[in-house]
Structure 1
């Protein structure tokens, strides 16, 4: 009996289907898909302090959708961040990620928080701005680029400085004060993260020359690797690529290897 061997086309199709199924199974196993990856799988040296996964943020509680404190981004973004981190290593500096992909439900929770007059909020985060004006003044968005997986909040840390207490809450002082709640290992940017105040504008004239220099280092570095800064917030960067829409999946725990 003559054995019938599959054609080259049939072999290629079968191989493609097998690879596609394996990729889909892997994505399902990790709780990801649509081109998202865990940043720690691309570069485990990047420091992460996912502020909205815990209580250390302007709402004082974890936001919905943050099932774990993992930075999740689109693959090209992760690859670019890996290049940024490699350049920083020569200076004994590191990225610290403060927020990455943000589920739509978390964005909605922020908007609801602004509109809820029964919640006064922590004035340390907006000492000179009315809580009700945070959306109109461009600090909180009703639709956020974070939900596309291409927008990030981050800062720089000095690897020569001890990180003890790095994740402590902002403290009792306003975010614009000299002692503004920065972690001890972070470079002094003039304000803490999520400081909804004119002083957080990237080129604010209210900050010192050293703080201006630290912000300039961050903006220039990120710019070389495809990221543009949001002028109202020195910590906010967008990857210069077309986004593929917003998402609302829960951020899962990273699978154990």
Structure 2
């Protein structure tokens, strides 16, 4: 209290100081929730029935670590792309099929982290996710880029799942080649596409002739369903699609992936 005109009044400065001292532990350093980039939405708010398995928010990805920029495992997209994806889901439902997304919006810092990760690899190093292309050659081979439509919210990595089947735990070996037989390589219960997600190998090319007839049909089913709602497939990766060919429609963003 301070005396003003013969009365005692509370000091604003003292009140602020006391408020900080009495605040719960950690409250003074809690960062405000960061808003999504303009025009972006959480996919769950558009269609919660689409399965989400955001790999880069976990160590279960080709880097072996949680990727910078992924605070949580949430699919975020430009709203038009999210609504188009919901239409694909509705189109697939009569077949008892649905979508599972592995990655959606990708912060620019994650794109940079991928390129840096390639640069740290030994030139001749092979691995489960790149069984026939050296780690150091993944950028030149077109599997990893310094610029990505994921950062613009218009690209998505995904596959097909059966709606009438319970989601099984992952099977197979995490160290088996991603292009190996279905009974050996890591499998997450989705339809067999011939390789696992993020398999940096020529077998991942959508039109590969190294896969079986059933695997080829599964890929074509996914491509057709996505094309029907304006998504274009990337020929080197059966799982990668861009909405509306919208490259440059939005600038790359770097807001971290956060929950709703």
TM-score, length of structure 1 as denominator length:
0.83
Alignment partner of 1:176 is 2:179: yes
Is contact 2:126-2:134 (8 Å) kept?
Answer: no
1:241 offset after TM fit, Å? 4.9
Length, aligned pairs only: 225
1:21 matched residue in structure 2: none
Matches within 5 A, 1:132-211: 132-166=136-170, 171-178=174-181, 179-184=184-189, 186-211=190-215
1:37 matched residue in structure 2: 41
1:171 offset after TM fit, Å? 1.6
1:33 offset after TM fit, Å? 3.2
- Partners in 1 of 2:239 and 2:64 — Cα distance? 20
Gapped runs of 5+ residues in structure 2?
Answer: 1-31
Post-superposition Cα deviations, 1:139-161, rounded to whole Å, max 9, x if no partner, equal: 00111111000001000011222
1:29 offset after TM fit, Å? 6.1
1:79 maps to which of 56, 72, 83: 83
2:18 matched residue in structure 1: none
Alignment partner of 1:127 is 2:160: no
Is contact 1:56-1:169 (8 Å) kept?
Answer: no
1:252 matched residue in structure 2: 258
Query: Over aligned residues, Cα RMSD in angstroms?
Result: 1.9
SS at match of 1:135: coil
Is contact 1:38-1:71 (8 Å) kept?
Answer: yes
1:162 offset after TM fit, Å? 2.6
- Partners in 1 of 2:257 and 2:219 — Cα distance? 29
- Partners in 1 of 2:173 and 2:93 — Cα distance? 27
2:12 matched residue in structure 1: none
- Partners in 1 of 2:205 and 2:92 — Cα distance? 23
Shift of the 92–102 alpha-carbon distance from structure 1 to 2, 3 Å rule, reads same
Is contact 1:56-1:170 (8 Å) kept?
Answer: no
2:225 matched residue in structure 1: 221
Is contact 2:76-2:104 (8 Å) kept?
Answer: yes
1:172 offset after TM fit, Å? 2.4
2:242 maps to which of 238, 241, 245: 238
Post-superposition Cα deviations, 1:6-59, rounded to whole Å, max 9, x if no partner, equal: xxxxxxxxxxxxxxxxxxxxxx96721310000000000000000000100000
Post-superposition Cα deviations, 1:205-227, rounded to whole Å, max 9, x if no partner, equal: 00000000000000000000000
Q: Which has the higher helix share?
A: 1
1:46 matched residue in structure 2: 50
- Partners in 2 of 1:80 and 1:252 — Cα distance? 22
